[in-house]
Chain A
């Protein structure tokens, strides 16, 4: 691969290193290279444009590291899969770099290195990226996993050199598409050839997805004995244990933290320790999360709220209130912040016996919740504070709204369930949430059945009412748009039809641009729209 003409971004907090590597990159042929000092500048650059390659030092100062930055930008899709990511590290950092977490760098390079070695590695990664490009094309935010899967087979036939990489992607795609048996068969066929960590963990994930949790756990334990540095195995095992044995899950997260530090895992540890009523350990974990990350990019409201709760449970009210205050220092003033702060303060004051202060804080939280369209996590934090103050009905109203908006999102439903569980209403909460979910599914199904039976006007009325009420429910908005378009198709299209359909499409896209059925309805709109109809704006 010729590196000339490729664009690069170099991230290193030490200016001498930045200059030295920049010269080496130029030696390797990369003339067009931006260089930045820290996470903030890197995020700005990556938001503004896309690069062919990123070269990042593991140690970024300010309590940040290259691995956390990589996770952040891959999760936020700021860094497309087609961009190569090379991590450079000193020998002491190498163990942490080579841990194969969910988001791993494409390669890593130990300092010191020569320009030749840098060029060889970069061109190797870029060759691979080019070979896999037909698959990556369908894996982005607006991608179609089924097409990505088909591309895998094509690349597998044409580029045997990258067979392992394609098999890995294929396994991930099969799991994501819920084609569990095929995923398991793929991992088993790889393992028949040779032992390798990704296939061992993949097989365990397939077993877990088909409900064989015990077999999955055994597989992961064995994998960890052989591959103690493989973070993805700790994450999968902790996830499984969390369902049945939170103390064991806590232990696994502690082990993972010994392998590599990360703010996200400190938070996970803090949350498990809170649930296990291991308050001093929770305090320690949350304290690390808020103290270590001085960039502010990796910590969240939850870290301060968790710190406040773990202090409060130990009777350290002053420390707990200080954590609530610190939350306000570290995050921008938004309704989300105000709600989190007030909800947490309400719980702390209540625990300390200050009923009046608790009530005042809760009123503030509820007022924000009513006025602003809060993220589900924030609304649930307010619901939790309501439960703590005995205001069960208000808590349930909030949770119901969250569950109606996110009835397809298992993660949000699990969070809602844990709010019920924390209030000692585990089984009541499960019934409540399941009923809400079923009601939403039924609403969608009934409307779709009506539309299919030709009762389009009734379907449109029903879905439009629901979509206007539940503005954060992606599926309802998509179905409403579909019904309106079907009506247009049958009864002759009018500009009003398209205006209404477009409104629902945009409403759906705002909630979840990745919804698997969004592409279908957009295509239908474009097919029906006569010339002169307003087009769907690009994102």
Chain B
């Protein structure tokens, strides 16, 4: 059964990948807002499947982090190219040029941040800020929005807090991926949620 789950997710991902190719082709022939949204939706479903697969493998003990150095400025620049349409109007990214490199699993962390960014963009009034800083031997990546903030139940760590927009999968995934980032001296990553003004999603990586 476990094997079937992984195989089924892979199949679905392959189909989505084909769907993406067709959508690209359609947009090449005649672009429209509807196709744009369809493509974005396909990307979101793909992201959910990536998260599901990672969690499944984590449960089986076969999730291996691919930790390597990445230039933070390049990484954040690449991230923005994958955001949904219109995001550039609201997103402010502080310069990470001076931060240099950090060691993390760029593939999985990208999905953590994309999910958090989508969430922030959905709830923001006018502005979302993406900011990376290095503090005391750890990397903080903050996503701040100027919306109503996280509901109390989410702040209290209720992971299964479902609503119309979210199954809670994204947050479970984010916490798992953060926690699986370890340093040889035994520190590990975490997610911190707070409401300083709007909502603040913070990924802390050792």
A residues whose Cβ falls under 8 Å from a Cβ of B: 91-92, 94-95, 98-100, 110, 112, 116-117, 120, 124, 163-164, 193-198, 200, 219, 222-223, 225-230, 259
Contacts and interface: CB of A to CB of B under 8 A. Distances in A.
A86 to B, nearest CB: 14
B107 A110 contact: yes
B103 A117 contact: no
B126 interface: no
B65 A164 contact: no
B137 A229 contact: no
B24 to A, nearest CB: 8
Contact of A117 (B81, B101, B105, B139): B81
Contacts of A227: 65, 67, 184
B5 interface: no
A228 B81 CA distance: 29
B41 interface: no
B67 A91 contact: no
A226 B64 contact: no
B21 A95 contact: no
Contacts of B103: 194-197
A37 to B, nearest CB: 23
B65 A228 contact: yes
Contact of B64 (A91, A112, A193, A228): A228
Interface string B41-71: 0000000001000000000000011111100
Given A98-B107, A200-B184, A226 B13 contact: no
Nearest to A220: B184
B68 A222 contact: no
A98 B68 contact: yes
A91 B182 contact: no
A8 B206 CA distance: 38
Interface in B13-60: 13, 17, 20-21, 50
Contacts of B182: 225-226
Give the 9 A-B CB pairs with smallest separation, nearest first: A195-B183, A98-B66, A222-B184, A196-B103, A226-B182, A164-B101, A229-B66, A228-B64, A226-B184
Interface of B: 10, 13, 17, 20-21, 50, 64-69, 74, 78, 81, 100-103, 105, 107, 134, 137, 139, 182-185, 187, 206
Given A91-B13, A92-B10, A112-B21, A195 B184 contact: yes
B111 to A, nearest CB: 11
B139 to A, nearest CB: 8
A193 B139 CA distance: 11
Given A94-B107, A228-B64, A223 B100 contact: no
B131 to A, nearest CB: 18
Given A98-B66, A223-B184, A229-B67, 8 more contacts: A100-B66, A116-B81, A164-B69, A194-B102, A194-B139, A195-B185, A196-B102, A230-B67
10 contacts: A92-B10, A98-B68, A98-B105, A100-B68, A112-B20, A195-B137, A195-B184, A196-B103, A200-B184, A229-B67
A200 B186 CA distance: 13
A124 B74 contact: yes
A223 B137 CA distance: 17
Given A98-B66, A98-B68, A164-B101, A194 B137 contact: yes
B17 A112 contact: yes
Contacts of A116: 81
Contacts of A219: 184
Contacts of B100: 163-164
B67 A197 contact: yes
Given A193-B137, A194-B103, A195-B103, A226 B67 contact: yes
Contacts of B21: 112
Contacts of A94: 66, 107
A117 B67 CA distance: 22
Contacts of B134: 194
Contacts of A223: 184
Q: Which of A120, A195, A225, A230 gathers most chain B CB within 10 Å?
A: A195
Contacts of A99: 66
A41 to B, nearest CB: 27
Nearest to B103: A196
Contact of A196 (B65, B69, B185): B69
Contacts of B187: 195
B69 A195 contact: no
A302 B55 CA distance: 41
Contact of B185 (A112, A117, A193, A222): A222
Contacts of A124: 74
Contact of A226 (B10, B81, B137, B183): B183
Nearest to A100: B68
A4 to B, nearest CB: 22
Contacts of B78: 117, 120
A91 B16 CA distance: 13
A223 B182 CA distance: 9
Contacts of B206: 195
A196 to B, nearest CB: 4
A227 B105 CA distance: 10
Nearest to A227: B67
A194 B137 CA distance: 5
A116, A163, A194: most-surrounded residue (chain B CB, <10 A) = A194
Contacts of B69: 164, 196, 198
Nearest to B206: A195
A324 to B, nearest CB: 38
A164 B99 CA distance: 11
A261 B100 CA distance: 32
A191 to B, nearest CB: 9
A229 B134 CA distance: 25
